[in-house]
Amino acid sequence: MVNVAMVSDIHLDINKVNVEQTLKQQSDWLKENQISVYLIAGDLFNHFKRSLSFAEKLQKMTPHTVVRFIAGNHDMVNDISYEDLQKPLATTYLHRQYLDVMGTDWRIIGNNGWYDYTFSAVMHRPEADFLHWKRAYWIDGAIKQPISDPERMTEELRVIEEQLQQAQQAHKRVLFMTHFVPRIEYLRITSDDRFWNMANAMLGSVRTGNLLAKYHVKYVLFGHMHIHPMPRELEGTVYFNQSVGYGTARRHEWLTSNFQSEWLKRVRVINLTDKNE
**pLDDT tens for each residue of 196-246:** 789 999 999 999 999 999 999 999 999 999 999 999 999 999 999 999 999
pLDDT band at 193 (very low <50, low <70, confident <90, very high): confident
Overall size of the chain counted in residues = 277
Mean pLDDT of 141-169: 98
What pLDDT is recorded for position 276? 59
CA distances from 251 to 15, 145, 246, 254 (A): 10, 29, 6, 9
Mean of the per-residue pLDDT values of the chain: 96
Confidence check: pLDDT of 272 > 80: yes
Question: Would strands 237-241 and 219-222 be described as parallel, antiparallel, or unpaired?
Answer: parallel
* CB 182, CB 199: distance < 8 Å: no
- Which neighbouring-strand residues pair with 100? 107
pLDDT band at 275 (very low <50, low <70, confident <90, very high): low
Helices and strands: H and E segment counts in the chain: 8, 10
Confidence check: pLDDT of 277 > 60: no
Question: Would strands 237-241 and 232-234 be described as parallel, antiparallel, or unpaired?
Answer: antiparallel
Percentage of residues of the chain with pLDDT beyond 70: 99
- Which neighbouring-strand residues pair with 268? 6
Question: Would strands 97-100 and 173-177 be described as parallel, antiparallel, or unpaired?
Answer: unpaired
* CB 177, CB 241: distance < 8 Å: no
Mean pLDDT of 68-87: 98
Confidence check: pLDDT of 137 > 90: yes
CATH class for the region spanning 2-272: alpha beta
State the pTM of this model: 0.97
Distance CA 236, CA 216 (A): 7
What pLDDT is recorded for position 274? 74
* CB 164, CB 178: distance < 8 Å: no
Question: Within its chain, how far is the Cα of 156 from the centroid?
Answer: 14
